[in-house]
Amino acid sequence: MIKNKFTTQVSQDLKNENFIGFKINHKILNRLGFFVLKKAFKKKTIDQYKFKFINNQRKQIIKKTKNHLVEVKIDKLSFFKKIYKDPQLKKIVKNFYNGNVGSDFFRIVKKDINNTKPVFCHQDTGYQFGSFNRYSLFISLTKSYNLNGGMTVYPSTHKFGYLGDAGEISKKITKNFIKICPSLESGDVLIMHSSLWHESEKNYKKIDRIYLEVHIQDADEPSTNFVISGKRNDVIKIPFDKNKVFSNSRVQRIVKLKNKIKKINI
Ligand SMILES: [Fe+2]
């Protein structure tokens, strides 16, 4: 919310750190667009996921996505799909979407000694496929705080909804808003609405900041790939390749234009 123009409730929530707890407060999550759930996963579970990730990364079986600042795709490693059966995850999601909770993707988003760059302020909605009432669960596999590039959020900005394009939100706008970088321990989960504005600092400390991100949505969304809780009704499933929907989009036109320029310069 805009500095000095908070609603009383949002002000109180921020002042009293009501967004941190051992149980999700859905009212506060709805008001602020984020919530920090403490000790949601046992150390043993977190250690397993961290070990699998680090090990596979070292063997170069998985790598950071080219041209992406922090993403490592892990969907080919069946080990990580275990997360969807984990009672600890089921417990977290049980009060979303009347208990019928699905997921369209999961991935790692990380910073480390080789990958320290900051991430500009954006909302995820413009990069996603489907309806707008969805959340990311950032399961912290390490400590995460300002100096190692932890997630920074702009409280209540999800209320503005989809901003009509994807990319960096202007600093001329964001400078007027309060931002918070909650410190997380491994095993904590940052729950974030996909429309919430967020960014992250450079990893100044050069120590690992690793999140296992699980994206959740109503199980009945056409893009649901995994049902975490409850059931999926007999709903339409996407009958086409999500990545080949457009024959002439904004992004495609930019790519074409870039290629033209490249050719001219050769
Ligand atoms: Fe994001």
Report CA(266)–ligand 1 centroid distance (Å).
35
Q: Which two tokens stand for residue 168?
A: 């960096």
Q: Which spans in 114-240 are helix H?
A: 171-174
Report CA(119)–ligand 1 centroid distance (Å).
8
How far apart CA 136 and CA 107 sit, in angstroms, is: 11
Is residue 53 classed as helix, strand or coil in its secondary structure?
A: helix
Report CA(124)–ligand 1 centroid distance (Å).
5
Report CA(123)–ligand 1 centroid distance (Å).
6
pLDDT of 217 above 90: yes
Residue 143's pLDDT band (cuts 50, 70, 90): very high
Is residue 21 classed as helix, strand or coil in its secondary structure?
A: strand
Encode pLDDT of 155-203 as tens digits.
999 999 999 999 999 999 999 999 999 999 999 999 999 999 999 999 9
Report CA(199)–ligand 1 centroid distance (Å).
7
Report CA(237)–ligand 1 centroid distance (Å).
25
Report CA(170)–ligand 1 centroid distance (Å).
15
pLDDT of 248 above 90: yes
Residue 206's pLDDT band (cuts 50, 70, 90): very high
Percentage of the chain surpassing pLDDT 90?
88
Going from N- to C-terminal start, the domains of the chain cover: 8-240
Note the CATH number of domain 8-240.
2.60.120.620
> Which 3-state string (H, E, C) describes 227-248?
EEECCCCCCCCCCCCHHHCCCC
Tell me the C-alpha to C-alpha distance, in Å, between residue 257 and each of 28, 239, 262, 265: 45, 30, 9, 12
Cα 115 versus chain centre, distance: 18
Can you give the pTM of this predicted structure? 0.94
- What mean pLDDT comes out for the span 104-120? 95
Report CA(213)–ligand 1 centroid distance (Å).
10
Report CA(9)–ligand 1 centroid distance (Å).
26
The pLDDT, as a whole number, for residue 80 is 94
Report CA(17)–ligand 1 centroid distance (Å).
23
Report CA(163)–ligand 1 centroid distance (Å).
14
Is residue 191 classed as helix, strand or coil in its secondary structure?
A: strand
- What mean pLDDT comes out for the span 212-233? 96
pLDDT of 1 above 60: no
Burial track 96-119 (b if 16+ CB lie within 10 A, e otherwise):
bbeebbbbbebbbbbbbeebbeeb
Report CA(182)–ligand 1 centroid distance (Å).
16
Report CA(151)–ligand 1 centroid distance (Å).
9
